[in-house]
Structure 1
Amino acid sequence: MTLDRVIDHERYRVTGGSGDPRRRAVVDRARRELADTGCTVLEDFVHPALHEALRADCVALAPHAYTDVETVNVYNLPLDRPLPEDHPGRRTFRRGNAFVPRDRIPPGAFISALYRDESFQRFVADCFELPRLHELADPLSGLVLNVIEPGQQHPWHFDTNEFTVSMLTQEADEGGVFEYCPGIRSPREENLDAVGAVLDGRAPERVRRLPLRPGALQLFRGRHSLHRVTPVGGLRARHSAIFAYSEHPGVVGSVARTRQLFGRVLPAHLAAEHRAVRGDRLLD
């Protein structure tokens, strides 16, 4: 499976140079939307003729997901951490999503072809206005398939990484809608009152609902934007591929977070445990 076969190049000229006007137009649009709302969606990034093959490819991977239903807060803080009575970190939610780790995704899969392709990585880096991106060195979380079964949800949270690259591969029968609050916090301000208002349902005007269709590429700044996937209903699970990149090489997830997401850790996680680097002092 090659990039030339997967992407609709009539709409998205990913492999062209920076001087290609069609590529430049797509990148410029993505940059504007990311600056305005922290999110951009490239509809039918995968050629429409391949949507069903993409879906079937990921359906075959889904049984390899590690599933864990747990009680969490929006910051992924320990539930016994002392916090003020009105702190939004005291609100708890049930999270019931599952992840297929990278070492269960074969190199020939659609999403592997995209994740590893250097032209795709350069294109994504250009959209985020970064000099380059690196695949995570993490053997489990570099590329994952997220599975949300009927009756489950991915509740309100912030991302640890500055940016997220994802693609819906299968819609749920009901629900499973992506909702987000653009720029509700900043590197310097948690804005706890605003976060608490959203969690309590007192600020619906801050919440945007984003319809996503299979094959669309979503670029998202989730570090400062509160977001969630609403509960999934019906009989069919929601599947989405998450392409994890970093601005820096050698990034490996923490032991605690890796065990939480995948139920296991590997020697690479143990070796990197004391080398974690944080770009800010935000809670999560």
Structure 2
Amino acid sequence: MSTSDVLTLHHSAIDTALYDDAVVTRARRELRATGCTVLKDFVRPAHQEALRAECAAIAPHAYFAAETVNVYNTDVTEAASLPPGHPGRITFERGNAFVARDRIPAGSLIATLYADPAFQSFIAACFELPRLYELADPLSGLVLNVVEPGMGHPWHFDTNEYTVSLLTQQPEDGGGFEYCPGIRSAEDENFAAVGEVLAGRGDPDRLALRPGDLQLFKGRYALHRVSPVGGATARHSAIFAYSERPGVIGRAARTRQLFGRVLPEHRAAEDRAVRTDRLLD
């Protein structure tokens, strides 16, 4: 597919009327209030089946390794050393999988959208930021999240503060997005409240997402999950991760956990990694 063909597909498939000041104003208001906003039918209905088929074709490239995790993605073998009642002692089976960025065709709609300057400017405006940068990570930044029937993505926090996702395939049952906005901050883990949610005593917000819907989310401080998928159809969503600073590359240990491999870029970045807070994950 030529560059002109990709741009034509992009501009016909995306409802660019949503790049409107009124939409930005609404998004900002909702992100301030709940850390989440949804743009319905961001991908026009006429193009949603093509989007689904495109992402379904790359879904078999997902790295899948069922593993036991806690909400902070720390070493669960050390959980016993945590104080009684600490939420890090509660474990889950993580069953979702990711297609790495280098397995996603450069000419695909989601790859074109991720790198599109107009899209990036719109997203930055919604998050009230001067600009956003693509991750320099060759495996992360743009990924396809695959949740097969019977699996789920258990409670967790994101490592990046600004995440954008596009549902590309809806399961027959389950696979709902649930979240607890602002349950922690950069200064306070709020272990007690997190523990209440993990014990099933919380009251998370729930989203009814449909294919083509674009979700903007502040996942660093919001506990969230995708509930187990039922039926025979997997849940697919493209995840676009951006940073406020250039050159961001993921940690080698976390990269291996998600993709089953690391590259020289990850090893080289270990010594210059910078954290913006002191949170566990």
**TM-score above 0.5:** yes
Render the CA deviation track for 1:82-132: whole Å, top value 9, x for unaligned.
Answer: 210110010000001111111111111110110010000000000001111
Which residue of structure 1 lines up, in the alignment, with residue 14 of structure 2?
Answer: 7
Separation in structure 2 between the aligned mates of residue 105 and residue 201 of structure 1, nearest angstrom: 37
After TM superposition, list the pairs within 5 Å mapping 1:31-180 onto structure 2. 31-81=28-78, 82-180=81-179
Aligned partners of 2:222 and 2:141: how far apart in 1?
22
Q: Which residue of 1 aligns with 2:220?
A: 223
Aligned to 1:66, what secondary structure does the other structure show?
Answer: coil
SS of the aligned residue for 1:195 comes to helix
Q: Distance in 1 between matches of 2:169 and 2:59?
A: 11
Residue of structure 2 equivalent to 1:200: 199
Instruction: Give the Cα separation in 2 of the matches to 1:158 and 1:276.
Output: 19
CA distance in 2, matches of 1:154, 1:86: 23
1: CA distance, partners of 2:202 / 2:233: 31
Please, what TM-score do these two structures have when normalized by structure 1? 0.94
How do 1:232-251 residues align onto structure 2 when only pairs under 5 Å count? 232-251=229-248
CA–CA distance in structure 1, aligned partners of residues 146 and 167 of structure 2: 10
Q: Map 1:244-263 to 2 at 5 A.
A: 244-263=241-260
- Secondary structure in 1 matching 2:16: coil
Question: SS of the residue aligned with 2:77?
Answer: coil
User: Given residue 185 of structure 2, which amino acid in structure 1 is its aligned partner?
Assistant: S
More helix per residue: 2
TM-score, structure 2 as length reference: 0.95
Distance in 2 of aligned mates of 1:213 and 1:109 = 20
Please give the secondary structure, in 2, of the residue aligned with 1:197: helix
How far 1:64 sits from its partner (Å)? 0.7
Q: What SS is found at the alignment partner of 2:51?
A: helix
Any runs of at least 4 consecutive aligned residues in structure 1 with deviations exceeding 6 A, and if so which? none
Structure 2 runs not aligned, ≥5 long: 1-5
Deviation at 1:9, TM superposition (A): 2.9
CA distance in 2, matches of 1:202, 1:178: 17
Aligned-partner Cα distance in 2 for 1:174–1:194: 29
Tell me, in whole angstroms, the C-alpha distance in 1 between the residues paired with 2:273 and 2:98. Answer: 22
Structure 1: runs of 5+ lacking an equivalent: 15-22
- Percent identity over the alignment? 69
Q: Deviations over 1:111-160 (max 9, x none)?
A: 01100100000000000011111111000012100000001110000111
Distance in 2 of aligned mates of 1:246 and 1:95 = 25
- Number of residue pairs matched by the alignment: 272
The 5 A counterparts of 1:23-34 are 23-34=20-31
Partner letter of residue 182 of structure 1? P
